[in-house]
Structure 1
């Protein structure tokens, strides 16, 4: 059995098919333990650390930081028996001219690895290994001077790679490892695109890619198969680029839409055009609720707990759900699924975009347990460590726009949920209290709901109950429990 084992990007659950490598936590030559975190990967839902499947020594890192990798693709190679002696591998030491060493067939056989999924970096070339497989060595062997990578002719310089010691095997003349066309050029295309081209009988080397870095996309292949390859596109692109440059394109920033932000955009677009949204607003005097929070903070058992107005809003929502269970439901086409548990989502703004982790079965928690759960959820989200499981299965959501000084909003429903509450800023405002205008603490609530499930009467009663609790929490608790 081979001592070199390839570790594939694992299935992180919830239908995720790819992840972006944010940071390598190990380098070539490191000795690692079983379950030691080796890489940080950002999926469409969260950034997660992936542990090692085996103990041993890191022999190869197949993808640089910033690369998006499909699930099931090899990302690292580990020597599971480093004490058995050295491996016959090519040196990664660069020559004075920057030329790359040509490995022997025997050394290729010792380090044969599976073809990496996704596009290779510009200038990173692979050659054929014995048995018809492709060998691509990234950082294989001892850490020495990094070999210079030669960019494709006419391509923009590649960004500096992470210093893991990068070595590449020069392709033999006339060999193209991407599609085997034998043209000698480097064709950038993802594996599914290459498979589609093969199935449709399209020669990838004859196409001009419209994707990033000139990569070939599915659309390029489909147009070629139908004979509708556009020839005027490069001219139009050049014209647009020239025009844009004259209007300050050098002062524009282009941010790739990926990861959490991409998933959020897809979910919000799908929800906005699937569920008929209705939003209602209610402005309430929360002076008594704020005083109740002050008294709670003063109690001995609560002195080490962060208590915020969001805690009372969450409690109000959970109690109102008990009175109106239909609000906590999902539209399932030919039926409505009413949940007897509340996975309470809290929308959180992070550096990677908006995420909505949820407190599982929040209705069963005491007020102190709910406070601890909310604090833990927020801290985990701010650190970027929220797991995909914590962001799945939500049934009802609160978005606290008040922390940004905003009065309220018209929130969009998370997919699969029927209601979301926007909690606005608490402000001191003139308010009629006991027949006199006084300064009181006031906030505005905004409730969006799916009108297929929740009609105006139900939505209004639910929102009114939340407002009544925040107006006088003690009285509401006595009346409802």
Structure 2
């Protein structure tokens, strides 16, 4: 969803959108434009960080940048104007006062993306099962503020361990009708980023083709009234964000808690003190799994796929869930219900400079081994680049966290909020092991499964963990048990 106000036929203002469903604020990490720069419809003008991820924001109209309302490092409430654009440069001076704010759908540019920096539309969406979105708040801004943009910050790339991570679930995609909706590839990508099912969009293009305007219209929310205090808050330009400060003697450094780190802290406290955690452990000989990994790397059917132990562990967990479906559930406190999920959105925990994020592979239970490997590779690459969208981290059902990439043997992982189980994978090491009655060097690892004891009994948790271990010990069970 894109939010803007129209101050005259010449000037338009672009508001901070809700880049993740229900978020209230975002920090401006970097401006890609400055006053006087020419911008085109769909061009990325800034990067912001929410409590979920870093997101690039495209401008929805052509013109010349008139004013940047906030400097880099500022945390801005959703609905506040962040940039003003002169859409008719050279036509005269700006009006003395701006009229009432309005909400309008975005008119996208031509189907071809503009040359140069490609627009990245991430994090704007509702769940894939619905095109209804809650009403957002429209905020009036009395007039242009005079906050000058600071110099560009350093880049914010993300680093992710090559094999590792944990995850979060999402709901099933809406069923696709037999007749595939007509739309060009850029429009299909836009609909995917916005979480819009094209089958529910009314086409207005020639020959029944769905246009970008049709997709935006389907995602546009209804306007809502804004409390007076929200208007007052929006009118004030906040000071630049606080940066880490060292004490006078240099013995301490204080770092503001915000963005992803703040969200992690709140989620972990909420999970640890809401769900009664139980963790079970098992040490397993994974020598045969390591041999399978080596063979798959040479298999032509797996060409181009990232093959590592995590791929086999993920597939083993999916098989264990199929054999024990009650583990793939959630606790609904409000309705006092256990919600069993008939799909698996497999989360993979990823460590980045901004903190731990948990993107998930949607409908992982339906994927073949090559498809699962491709999805894992894409998930890791996107996280490493710092481009994981909020939608990619929503709706997880079960998570894997690979602490072994740090050389750690095991741990007691905390549940991802809304999930009932998380599997921690320890380091795989060569150890003495009794094999066929003799002590031999074997590849060994320790697995730890934490689960919500409100809905997962010890028997169920033990069965799931034992099934994963059995598959890793004898990978042929991926076939016989599937």
Tell me if both proteins adopt one fold, taking TM over 0.5 as the criterion: yes
1:473 aligns to what SS in structure 2? coil
* Distance in 1, Cα, partners of 2:10 & 2:92: 10
* Distance in 2, Cα, partners of 1:322 & 1:132: 54
RMSD: 2.7
Structure 1 residues 478 and 134: CA distance shift in structure 2, 3 A: closer
Going by fraction, where is helix more abundant, 1 or 2?
Answer: 1
2:66 aligns to what SS in structure 1? strand
Task: Trace 1:130-149 onto structure 2 (pairs within 5 A).
Answer: 133-139=142-148
Contact 2:97 2:143 in 1 (8 A): no
Task: Trace 1:336-347 onto structure 2 (pairs within 5 A).
Answer: 336-347=338-349
**Where does residue 479 of structure 1 map in the other structure?**
480
Task: Trace 1:417-436 onto structure 2 (pairs within 5 A).
Answer: 417-436=419-438
2:349 aligns to what SS in structure 1? strand
Contact 1:87 1:110 in 2 (8 A): no
Which protein shows a greater Rg?
1
Contact 1:108 1:135 in 2 (8 A): no
* Distance in 2, Cα, partners of 1:369 & 1:163: 39
Can you list the C-alpha shifts for 1:302-360, whole angstroms capped at 9, x where unaligned?
23222110000100010000001110000112110000000000000001000000000
2:398 aligned with 1:396: yes
**Greater than 4 Å deviation, 4+ residue runs:** 110-114, 191-196
Structure 1 residues 249 and 394: CA distance shift in structure 2, 3 A: farther
Can you list the C-alpha shifts for 1:9-56, whole angstroms capped at 9, x where unaligned?
111132111000000011111111111111100000000000101111
**Where does residue 162 of structure 1 map in the other structure?**
151
Contact 2:20 2:52 in 1 (8 A): no
Q: CA deviation at 1:138?
A: 3.6
Contact 1:61 1:75 in 2 (8 A): yes
Can you list the C-alpha shifts for 1:111-168, whole angstroms capped at 9, x where unaligned?
8999xxxxxxxxxxxxxxxx994542345xxxxxxxxxxxxxxxxxxxx93389xxxx
Structure 1 residues 132 and 390: CA distance shift in structure 2, 3 A: closer
1:250 aligns to what SS in structure 2? coil
* Distance in 2, Cα, partners of 1:71 & 1:87: 31
Contact 1:345 1:398 in 2 (8 A): yes
State the TM-score, normalizing by the size of structure 1.
0.69
* Distance in 1, Cα, partners of 2:141 & 2:290: 71
Contact 2:72 2:152 in 1 (8 A): no
Task: Trace 1:10-409 onto structure 2 (pairs within 5 A).
Answer: 10-82=17-89, 85=90, 87-88=92-93, 109=96, 133-139=142-148, 161-162=150-151, 192=229, 249-333=249-333, 334-409=336-411
Contact 1:48 1:385 in 2 (8 A): yes
Contact 1:54 1:80 in 2 (8 A): yes
**Where does residue 447 of structure 1 map in the other structure?**
449
| Number of equivalenced pairs | 353
Unaligned runs of 5+ in 1: 89-106, 115-130, 140-159, 165-190, 197-211, 214-240
* Distance in 1, Cα, partners of 2:413 & 2:24: 28
Unaligned runs of 5+ in 2: 1-7, 102-139, 154-227, 234-240
User: 1:415 aligned to 414, 417, 431, which one?
Assistant: 417
Q: CA deviation at 1:2?
A: 2.5
* Distance in 1, Cα, partners of 2:466 & 2:449: 10
